[in-house]
Amino acid sequence: MAKTTEKDVKNRASKAGAGQSYDASSITVLEGLEPVRKRPGMYIGTTGPDGLHHLVWEVFDNSRDEAMGGFANDIEIALLPNNRVRVVDNGRGIPVDKHPHTKVSALETIMTTLHAGGKFGGEASGYKVSGGLHGVGVSVVNALSTWARAEVHKDGGRYEQEYKIGKAQAPVKKVGTSEHIGTIISFEADASIFEEVKYDWAKIVAHVRQQAYLVKDTRISVIDARDLEKVSDQGVFYLRELNLEVPSMTFYFEGGLRSLIAFYNQHQTIAHKNIFYVDRELDKVQVEIAFQYVDDLTPRFLAFANNIYNAEGGTHVTGFKTALTRTLNTYGRNAGILKESEENFTGDDALEGITAVISVKMQEIQFEGQTKGKLGSVEARGAVDTVFSESLAAFLEENPDDARAIINKVLLALKARKAAKAAKDSVLRKGALEGMTLPGKLADCQTKDASESELFIVEGDSAGGTAKTGRDRRTQAILPLRGKILNIERARLDKMLASEQIKNLVVALGTAIGDVFDLNKLRYHKVIIATDADVDGAHIRTLLLTLFYRHFRAIIDGGFIYIAQPPLYKIKRGKETFYCYSDEEKFKILGKDAEVLEVAEEASDTEEENDEEEESDTKAKKSPKISIQRYKGLGEMNASELWETTMDPKNRVLKRVTVDDAEAADRIFDILMGTDVASRKSFIQSNAKLANLDL
């Protein structure tokens, strides 16, 4: 290899358009909390809605850790006017005395310094376990807020300090006396950092409810006072003391994880009566597990480490799955329920229809990433495996009726898996023999590049014919559906693949299904559901989304599923043509003409009325020449209209399907698409006022 000279480096830099000077002055040093504002995603994951709510979780987690340590039992979160958030706990109160290293108050150190907190000293700091690991939580919140205030009630005094963009505005000072003890953190997220500063009440309530199950005997309240003009909280510890007439919810559970399992299974048909539960410590790892099987196909897991939700699971979940499968196989064989001729249960068999919560608490804990989505602590796997397998074996022996129900449920899953595999293999083999790689109904696109290919799933042959005529043949494929597809919420794979409609869709997607699903083989990176804007169209869309959520979740998570937004109206005013996607758009385009048309419509509805009819007709005649066409379905459009409004990438409106809260989505699908009629009726009655009806 030829020797590289300094001149070579300068030449490459010049060609790349970079500066040639690279010395000590080129190194940027970010001080204090500057790194957080420079790269917020490194600390909170995203500057979207999840990142915004992560600020609330970071502050709440500190209060929750006080409760986990036995120092607090009452926490309050309040949403205030001007996008401010206030979190209160009755814990020990953050220390306000001078820190020996920083020479300023410990409160100021914690609020303004990264990697400073009470979570590093273990039991010496009073935190046997905690969710905080890096010591960046509240300081990151402070850095990403235009304003923040810390208020500490301690030793009979009330201490305060305010901050702007993470910087203290004055030293910590004592502002009065107090009968309370605890900490109040208030902040206002920086609108220049986040995409939108808008807190989701339902999301916060769901998070708080979940945490209340995990921290037994702790009261957690949420108050929504955003609609009030002003809330003065000076000198007020809990806002509930003000008796504000605003939405609020309070959670308190003594049953812990048992109560959480009961909550998640409230709309399910349970497979066995008793909920399994264990809470035991092994090798300094506290293991708490609860589970119950239901008459369903989908497993539901909630995993926590030091009460932090681990969306991606981790070592504790691995330990749980391994112990569950091994223990059920052992019991099934010993009890003679699993015959010698039968093969062993697989992990998928053992997990089908289970609702489980796995929670571990440990002092030295390792997460993968600051957002703590996955537990990495190796010792958690061994502790969970040992504690759970021993406790489950005892549970099965002591509860023979539950044990038999569980083993029979898993045995049914084993038999169904084998039947589904045979059906799947038959479908694939049949397709290969007939040379039908793609279904005949599919009008495929010319390009083979998945990144630019689009699949429109349309309702009926009429819309399919129009879409095929109006599409861009190079990049857009059309798959018409005949009527409503099978509701797969309670259907196994063999029954699904017996449906011609679903089989066509599976083959068209190219990913296969079940254990051989491969996202890399997805043939279209935009799968667009385009159904009519009526009740039947909405039902078909829901059936398709149920199919995608239950069996093609990775396609949703990858951001490949979209819903087309065809226009509701076509308005012609003189020589101008407008397409409107909502009533608001329609009235905005019509402007003053909307009033005239309204009068004309009233006149046509009261033809038998007296003199007012002539006046209305006169006004209508003087109005500009306007025609309004209300679209009920895609089939009512001609090919050019469908292309211009719904298929042309330059003009169309698409909504990407995402799953922000998997547990909430699970429950909704269970209620709406499951077999519990009473729950579905109750849900519809409760949410009827939120529906948009086309009467």
Neighbours of 564 (CB within 10 A): 21
pLDDT on residue 125: 52
Q: Does residue 456 register a pLDDT over 90?
A: yes
Spatial contact of 295 and 271, defined as CB atoms under 8 Å apart = yes
Mean pLDDT of 608-627: 54
Residue 217 has pLDDT above 80, yes or no: yes
Q: In which element (H, E) is residue 511 found? A: none
Q: How is residue 562 written in tokens?
A: 């979209």
The residues assigned a catalytic role are 459, 532, 534, 536
| Confidence band for 423, pLDDT divided at 50, 70 and 90 | low
Please give the pLDDT value at position 440: 79
Distances (CA, A) of 266 to 260, 353, 538: 10, 14, 26
Alpha helices in 266-369 (DSSP H): 315-334, 347-351
CB 673 within 8 A of CB 542: yes
Q: Minimal CA–CA distance to 217: which of 73, 361, 71?
A: 73
Q: Which residues pair with 374 in a beta bridge?
A: none
Residue 282's pLDDT band, with cuts at 50, 70 and 90, is very high
Contact 44, 371 (CB under 8 A): yes
Looking at the predicted structure, is the pLDDT value of residue 630 above 70?
yes
Q: Which of 18-22, 82-86, 643-647 has the lowest mean pLDDT?
A: 18-22
Give the separation between CA 87 and CA 149, rounded to whole angstroms: 11
d(CA 457, CA 505): 9
Give which of 607, 504, 576 is closest to 547, Cα–Cα: 504
- Higher pLDDT among residues 483 and 345, named by residue: 345
User: Pick the residue with more confidence: 315 or 5?
Assistant: 315
Q: What is the mean pLDDT of the chain?
A: 82
**pLDDT band per the 50, 70, 90 thresholds, residue 116:** low
Residue 26 CB burial class (10 angstroms; 0-12, 13-18, ≥19): exposed
When pLDDT is averaged across residues 382-411 and rounded to a whole number, the result is: 96
- With 70 as the cut, is the pLDDT of residue 32 above it? no
CATH 3.30.565.10 spans which residues of the chain? 37-251
Nearest one of 158, 153, 166, 172 to 89, comparing CA atoms: 153
Tell me how far apart the alpha carbons of residues 369 and 635 are, in angstroms, rounded to a whole number: 49
Please give the CATH architecture assigned to the domain spanning 257-418.
Answer: 2-Layer Sandwich (3.30)
Is 616 strand, coil or helix?
A: helix
Identify the top-confidence range among 6-15, 329-338, 597-606. Answer: 329-338
In this prediction, residue 439 has a pLDDT band, given cuts at 50, 70 and 90, of confident
pLDDT band at 631; cut points 50, 70, 90: confident
> Which residue has tokens 């084993």?
414
Q: Model's pTM, two decimal places?
A: 0.63
- Residues linked to residue 654 through DSSP beta bridges, in sequence order: 564
What pLDDT sits at residue 665? Answer: 58
Q: Tell whether the model's pLDDT for residue 421 goes beyond 90.
A: no
Positive or negative torsion for Cα 153, 154, 155, 159: negative
The answer on pLDDT for 81 being more than 90 is: yes
Instruction: Provide the token pair at 494.
Output: 């063999």
Three-state secondary structure call for residue 229: coil
Angstrom CA distances, 517 to 477, 520, 551, 572, 657, stand at 21, 9, 9, 48, 20
Tell me the pLDDT tens digit for each residue of 119-162. Answer: 544 554 555 565 544 445 799 999 999 999 999 999 999 999 99
Distance CA 492, CA 106 (A): 59
pLDDT of the residue at 405: 95
Query: What residue spans of 510-575 are helical by DSSP H?
Result: 535-551, 553-557
Query: Which pLDDT belongs to residue 29?
Result: 41
Q: Pick the more confident residue, 346 or 18.
A: 346
What residues contact residue 21 under an 8 Å CB cut-off, 6+ apart?
A: none
Mean per-residue pLDDT, 189-193: 94
Contact 145, 187 (CB under 8 A): yes
Neighbours of 42 (CB within 10 A): 13
CB-count burial class (<10 Å; 0-12, 13-18, 19+) for 687: exposed
Four-point Cα dihedral 358, 361, 364, 365, nearest 10: 30
- The CATH 3.30.230.10 portion of the chain extends over 257-418
Q: 37-251 falls under which CATH superfamily?
A: Histidine kinase-like ATPase, C-terminal domain (3.30.565.10)
What's the confidence (pLDDT) of residue 234? 81
In the chain, the amino acid numbered 376 is G
Q: Is the pLDDT reported for residue 474 higher than 90?
A: yes
Q: The sheet that has 285-293: what strands, in order across it?
A: 276-282, 285-293, 354-362, 300-305, 308-309
Kindly state the average pLDDT of the residues 551-563.
92
**Three-class secondary structure of residue 44 per DSSP:** helix
Where would I find the beta strands (DSSP E) of 201-317? 219-224, 248-251, 276-282, 285-293, 300-305, 308-309
Count of other CB atoms within 10 angstroms of residue 125:
13
Residue 453's pLDDT is what?
96
**pLDDT of 573 over the 50 cut:** yes
C-alpha angle 446/451/456, rounded to 5°? 60
pLDDT at 437: 65
Give the position of tokens 């759970």.
388
pLDDT of residue 609: 44
- Predicted confidence (pLDDT) per residue in 680-689, tens digit: 566 565 555 5
| DSSP H helix total and E strand total for the chain | 23, 22
Distance CA 159, CA 171 (A): 10
Task: Record the tokens describing residue 679, joined without a space.
Answer: 């729950």
Q: What are phi and psi of 95, to 5 degrees?
A: -60, 140
CA–CA distance, 63 with 212 (Å, rounded to integer) = 12
- Helices marked H in 167-290: 201-214, 257-264
